């Protein structure tokens, strides 16, 4: 006779197959918030908006604009709108861990995609190999520009930044990404820090920025 355990297993398999048939090729945009002990999620990344041909959050471009933020072989992709809503009516061209995410305006009945952001599931060791400092904002653009240089930050914040940062992140003091402002940025690296000159801007003034740095994990452990 078939055991109760076997019956429950067969029932679960039938339900799973029916769900797969009903879902078909629709994009699975949301994933469980929890991760297994062996993996983790990256931060949300948003490099494009649908004002052109569509919203292109491709891995190639994301790795170029956010170096070091994504592991080489992500397990999974998670997609949502920049307002936090799930993918619903849009026709999605690509959403995978090989290419990334693409939504074409030409595929939409309303003529334009929503604005999306993505994140990726990576091995736990990728997330634990380093850590981030606090945000620093030592200057504002009221003079010749916004100068968040490492030299000045080291002087004003002793022992708060590692000597050889792995990466730099820049955003406005209101939380907007550096790329979204349209400012011409002179420097944004781990050797000099960040510099935006007012003379380089069409508007005559940079946005007000803040920076933080990614450091080796042992630095944060010893510091904390």
What was the pLDDT predicted at 84? 86
What was the pLDDT predicted at 17? 41
- Tens of pLDDT, residue by residue over 119-129, are 999 988 787 76
Band of residue 68 on the pLDDT scale cut at 50, 70, 90: confident
* pLDDT value at 207 more than 50: yes
* pLDDT value at 21 more than 70: no
Kindly report the CA angle at 144 between 138 and 150, in degrees rounded to 5?
35
| Domain range annotation of the chain | 25-128, 130-223
What was the pLDDT predicted at 23? 32
* pLDDT value at 22 more than 50: no
132 or 7, higher pLDDT: 132
Average pLDDT value for residue range 85-93: 85
φ/ψ region of 108 (left if φ > 0, alpha if ψ in -120 to 50, else beta) reads beta
Q: What is the dihedral angle through the alpha carbons of 91, 94, 96, 100, rounded to the nearest 10 degrees?
A: -120
Mean pLDDT (the chain) is 83
Average pLDDT value for residue range 54-71: 90
Q: Which residues contact 7 (CB under 8 A, 6 or more apart)?
A: none
The rounded distance, in Å, linking the Cα atoms of 112 and 16 is 34
The rounded Cα 87 to chain-centroid distance in angstroms is 17
The encoded tokens of residue 23 equal: 């879902």
């Amino acid at each position: 006779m078939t055991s109760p355990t076997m019956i429950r297993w067969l029932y679960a398999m039938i339900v799973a197959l029916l769900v797969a048939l009903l879902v078909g090729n629709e994009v699975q945009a949301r994933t469980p918030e929890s991760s297994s002990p062996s993996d983790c999620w990256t931060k949300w990344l948003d490099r494009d908006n649908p004002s052109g041909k569509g919203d292109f959050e491709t891995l190639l471009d994301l790795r170029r604009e956010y170096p070091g933020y994504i592991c080489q072989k992500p397990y999974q992709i998670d997609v949502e709108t920049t307002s936090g809503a799930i993918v619903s009516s849009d026709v999605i061209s690509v959403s995978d861990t090989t290419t990334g995410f693409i939504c074409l305006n030409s595929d939409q009945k309303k003529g334009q995609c929503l604005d999306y952001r993505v994140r990726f599931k990576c091995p736990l060791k990728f997330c634990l190999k380093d850590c981030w400092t606090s945000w620093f904002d030592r200057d504002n653009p009221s003079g010749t520009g916004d100068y968040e240089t490492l030299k000045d930050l080291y002087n004003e914040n002793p022992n708060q930044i590692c000597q050889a940062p792995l990466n730099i992140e820049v955003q406005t003091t209101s939380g907007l990404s550096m790329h979204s402002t349209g400012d011409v940025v002179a420097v944004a690296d781990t050797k000099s820090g960040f510099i935006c000159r007012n003379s380089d801007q069409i508007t005559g003034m940079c946005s007000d920025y803040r920076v933080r740095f990614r450091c080796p994990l042992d630095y944060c452990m010893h510091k904390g």
